Amino acid sequence: MIVDTLTSPIILFFVLGFFAALIKSDLSIPEAFGKAMSIYLMAAIGLKGGIEVAEAGFSVQLAWAALAGLGLSFLLPVPAYFLLVRFGGLKPVDAGAVAAHYGSVSVVTFVTAQEILTGRGLEPAGYMVAIMALMETPAIISGLLLLQGKKAPTPGVPKQSTTKLLHEVFSNGSVILLVGAFLIGMVAGKDGFAPVKPLFDTGFRGVLCLFLLDMGLVAARRLIQSRKLTLPLIVLAIAMPVMNGMIGAALGVAIGLDPGSAAILAVLAASASYIAVPAAMRLAVPEADPGVYLSMSLGITFPFNIIFGITIYAAMVQMML
């Protein structure tokens, strides 16, 4: 199974980008093109998810998966926080910020896993896109709750208002686009999607390859440029996703999700955010060191999950069934 993953063009493009950055190649993807690809991919997966839900309708499974996703996102930061303080040696303020990243999700890991799993005949249910959107934010609240009373107020700076923070989180571009495209897909349905299908369906895998090339470059550069990673933190950046993936897989199987959906729930549990949460944490907890949480989530956990994690979590689900 791991050989299938490692020979997939999607993963190989990611490895190519990672390698190019490691050897300090001048390969680069124009920023505007990278941003355009991410918009395209999020719109495409949102649309596809919405269409599938429109076709299949709401189900008990969807409700269970939503509850599981919300619960995972809210609770996973708790063990992560204690591990980061005790074994990682982080200050509470840094540990809380990192923990929030590990409760939230990575859209790119999700979309890559969806493609890999679909290629193996384990296509996840369409509604898992909505579950992913649901899992973006509870971890931020959880991380902030863990930090209650642990960060001293800064003189001269009014406390960040909860309303402003929630606005920041819910108006995040990726959340708006994903949820919006999902709703458009639900409204349009299969027939309404047909005229735009050539754009959003035919080129999807090719664009994903190029996007992962870019993400490989971004992840490796973050890893090279970091000076904040210690050995315990590197170990935790791999151990926490495996642990969270196992919890996600067990929960997915326990609530009766199909193997593909359970595997993608495990992937979501294992993934760490590097888009929505860093911006929210920087605003809410400016004292926390972004060099720590970005290096862990983007520099280590993200490449680990893309190259090895997806296969591991899918295998966990298959063993549990």
Partner 1 sequence: MVDTVIRKRIEIVIDTPLIPIIINMIKAVDISGWSVIHVDSGGGRDGEWQHDDVTGAAAKSILLAIASDEKAQALVDRIEPILETHRLLLTVGNVQVIRGDKF
> Which residue ranges make up the site for partner 1 (CB under 8 A)?
31-32, 34-35, 38, 154-158, 168, 214-215, 218, 221-222, 225-228, 274-275, 278-280, 282-283, 286-287, 289-291, 294, 298
Residue number with CB closer to partner 1 (180 or 290): 290
Dihedral angle over CA of 59, 61, 66, 70, nearest 10: 160
Give me 146's structure tokens: 């863990």
Q: How far is the CB of 34 from partner 1 (least distance, A)?
A: 5
Do 282 and 106 meet the contact criterion of CB atoms below 8 Å apart? Answer: no
Give me 311's structure tokens: 């296969």
Residue number with CB closer to partner 1 (111 or 186): 111
Residue number with CB closer to partner 1 (113 or 280): 280
In 3D, which of 117, 107, 124, 123 has the Cα closest to residue 4?
Answer: 117
Residue number with CB closer to partner 1 (26 or 31): 31
Residue number with CB closer to partner 1 (52 or 214): 214
| Rounded Cα distance, 39 and 153, in Å | 37
Q: How far is the CB of 294 from partner 1 (least distance, A)?
A: 5
Q: How far is the CB of 311 from partner 1 (least distance, A)?
A: 24
**Residue 48 neighbours by CB under 8 Å, 6+ apart:** 126, 129, 185, 200, 201
Do 67 and 205 meet the contact criterion of CB atoms below 8 Å apart? Answer: no
| Rounded Cα distance, 274 and 277, in Å | 6
Residue number with CB closer to partner 1 (99 or 294): 294
**Residue 22 neighbours by CB under 8 Å, 6+ apart:** 220, 224
User: Which own/partner contact pairs does 167-171 have at CB distance under 8 Å and 24+ positions apart?
Assistant: 168/279, 168/280, 168/283, 169/136, 169/137, 169/140, 169/276, 169/280, 170/137
Q: How far is the CB of 171 from partner 1 (least distance, A)?
A: 13
Give me 8's structure tokens: 């997939």
Q: How far is the CB of 272 from partner 1 (least distance, A)?
A: 12
Q: How far is the CB of 92 from partner 1 (least distance, A)?
A: 14
What amino acid is encoded at 221 in this protein?
Answer: R
User: What's the DSSP call for residue 161?
Assistant: P
Residue number with CB closer to partner 1 (152 or 319): 152
Residue number with CB closer to partner 1 (74 or 274): 274
In 3D, which of 201, 99, 214, 91 has the Cα closest to residue 146?
Answer: 99
In 3D, which of 26, 17, 12 has the Cα closest to residue 218?
Answer: 17
Dihedral angle over CA of 250, 256, 259, 262, nearest 10: -50
Residue number with CB closer to partner 1 (48 or 222): 222
Q: How far is the CB of 295 from partner 1 (least distance, A)?
A: 9
Q: How far is the CB of 160 from partner 1 (least distance, A)?
A: 8
Q: How far is the CB of 291 from partner 1 (least distance, A)?
A: 5
